[in-house]
Amino acid sequence: MPGQQADRYWMRPMGLDDVPLIAGWFEHLEDLAMFDRQLPMPLNSEAMKAGWRETLAETEPRSNYWFTIDDRAGEVVGIAGLQDINYVHGDGVLPIYLAEPVRRKGIGLRVGAMLLDLAFDQLRLNRITSFYRADNVATNRLVQAIGFSEEGRMRKAWFADGKHLDIVVIGILASEWLARRDNLASSMSRDTVVILGRAAWGARAWPQVSADELKAASRISAAGGI
């Protein structure tokens, strides 16, 4: 509707102080089993901090970049990143997790697009890989919308809920993303916007919005402590 305020979310580099909240999310066994193939049971925040500390303290060239997704109140509502980056082969993996209350709003699609821009424009990678459980319908819809191609399946390779499930392996090349991104951006509603950067002059937005909108977003960010 004309004059309606966009639903804005901000990406920022993740810190150790964010881990206790994430530990709380992953006490939900179904979410944990969808997101992390390596972790079959929940861990407390101190155990999770120990696991994240080395990842977040890496020096350049880093093999992992992780971001939180914050709402306009400054509350963390998701995490996403580029991990297992291999600069020799130009490859990396793209994981995204959103807390249940903000799912099905198009945030994951915009975050994924932002991360692909960073992977190909900033890190000079040539492809991004990801994988997911074959029964994960939401992720399947998301990666198809972004433009990933299914490249194969690892049969019965993910154990969850007492059964073995296939893993779907997907990938997208830099050239494929370049050919797709403008059409994807133009098709997106501006009702939901994901922004990387808190200063208007240096921020990026998915989908792109006007300079005035970025300035307004930076004022919200400053006021909300994001």
Query: Could you report the per-residue pLDDT of 137-166, keeping only the tens digit for each?
Result: 999 999 999 999 999 999 999 998 889 999
Dihedral sign for Cα atoms in the order 214, 81, 78, 169 = positive
**pLDDT value of position 13:** 96
- Spatial distance between the Cα atoms of 125 and 198, rounded to a whole number of angstroms: 25
Q: Tell me the pLDDT band of 1, cut-offs 50, 70 and 90.
A: very low
- Contact between 69 and 76 under an 8 Å Cβ cutoff? The reply is yes
Which tokens belong to 56? 């977040």
Q: Options 3.40.630.30, 3.30.930.10, 3.30.200.20, 3.40.930.10; which CATH number does 7-224 get?
A: 3.40.630.30
- Contact between 210 and 190 under an 8 Å Cβ cutoff? The reply is no
Number of other CB atoms surrounding residue 135 within 10 Å? 15
Q: Tell me the pLDDT band of 219, cut-offs 50, 70 and 90.
A: low
Query: Could you report the per-residue pLDDT of 162-181, keeping only the tens digit for each?
Result: 899 999 999 999 999 999 99
Q: pTM to 2 decimals?
A: 0.90
